[in-house]
Structure 1
Amino acid sequence: MCENAETLFTPKTIQSSEDWLSCHEEKCQTFQAFKDSKLRNKISKERNIIYLYIADQKIDDDFKQILLSYCQAFYHGMQVNLMEPKVQGDFMVIHNIPCRINQYTGMKQYDAEAILAKTIPMVPKSAYCMLTVTLQDLYPRPSWNFVFGLANLSKRTGVFSFVRYDPLFQGIQTPKRNLILKRNACGVMVHEIGHMFAIKHCTYYECTMNGFNSYEESTRSIRYLCPVCTKKLQLAIGFDTKERLVKLREVCESIGFSENAEYYKDFLLDFGRV
């Protein structure tokens, strides 16, 4: 990272008693702790591909390509492949995933732990990790209201839902609905994959790897990978940081994430490269 990179990031603060850090005790994961962690899933010649398993037929081809392009740029240096069910139909029904009706929304939710259990045997041998993508609402255990996503580091798999990132789910009417949904979906996707790299929730800055309790908390601002977490990811993958930023700027421009693209353009000015 450039010398003044930290000036582009805001220290993490707690703004509400409902915020993640108000409700969950998170120990800071230093770079050294990450480096020394025995839990790290290291990239190898045999396991070097990130798979996005599209388990929901409602996710159209345009959305799939946005997820693929953003993931490839964010995890620059990794190969990313789309993967779809071999049997067409409702994934949740086919695999008998337990469900319930959420007491607050009145909508159906599916058991994220059960989804992980079903998808673990599907993880390709070449996978660094596999992330299941769905538009269905999820819960991790009976006592929880919902969860945006869930990952199992040791099994190299995870699942995430972006239905709660849809403004309509929150009762918000906006002409920018599709843009907001796709941008938010990309954010939670790379967050969950970050956990599979053994990067824990960030407590240093407003960062992609922050924990979130609510839609409101997650969308107060557009978050980017902070200097601490970038250093962790760079150690894991070995990318050139400038090249990664250039790729992120290019991809954000191509998929219509103009605010993100401007951020990366400004960041690159610090490297003397635009």
Structure 2
Amino acid sequence: MSSGFAHVNGLKIYYEVHGEGGERPLVLLHGGAHTIELSFGRVLPALAEHRQVVAIELQGHGRTADTDREMSIEAFADDVLGVLDHLGIERADILGFSLGGLTALQFGLRHPRRTGRLVLLSANYRPDGVHEEIRANDPGSTRMPTKADFAEMRDAYVEVAPDPGHFETFLGRLSVLVNKTWQGWSDEELSGLGSPALIMIGDQDFTKPGHAVRMQELISGSQLAVLPDTKHVQIVNRPDFVLPMVEKFLDWSRVS
């Protein structure tokens, strides 16, 4: 594994490069308030066995310091492009979890010539695509992250962040982005996505199953998987389900 920082759009974006080979590199984009390790620690080694994997930490996450730049999904997607330029990667498949899934979708829509296949874990394309108790931030909902989940996010951040004391401020800025600023995409915009996608949610996820079905209908060449007995924060910790489907989907791209 090698790692470094790419100077992109006024930020120092942290990235790691694992493995080698494969038709195209695979970019990993973590969930909101996660680090690379927290989102992908259980799946990254297997994904990097036979191909190059580039894992990126977005603005304010992990080792990538926050700035006063407004957080937006568009800016995140452009930052990913900057890292690919820095590494000399012309085209990549992208796997994104939650916030990373939104960023992956935006990247595919904004930079289609640089996008191979997309794997979208626990993502939605409109704010109303998640269950109402999630939009209401209902602490009584069994779908919500637990106190232990939030403590794990905080601990992962504090361990590697340039400013460990910035977590609460960063979390507030991220909440504004996800719950107020981000407006999603229209059906017409989503149907214009030129990259096939594997859409994967848990049966107890934030995303409504009907919304995920609609995503599959709109994205040409897409597939949908619903993981049993799986909450939002658990989906990246189910390598028994996730890895075989992701590997098959990405291998298929070599012969399709």
Tell me whether the two structures share a fold, i.e. TM-score over 0.5: no
**TM-score, normalised on structure 1?**
0.33
Larger radius of gyration: 1
**TM-score, normalised on structure 2?**
0.34
Greater RCO (Cα-Cα under 8 Å, separation 6 or more):
1
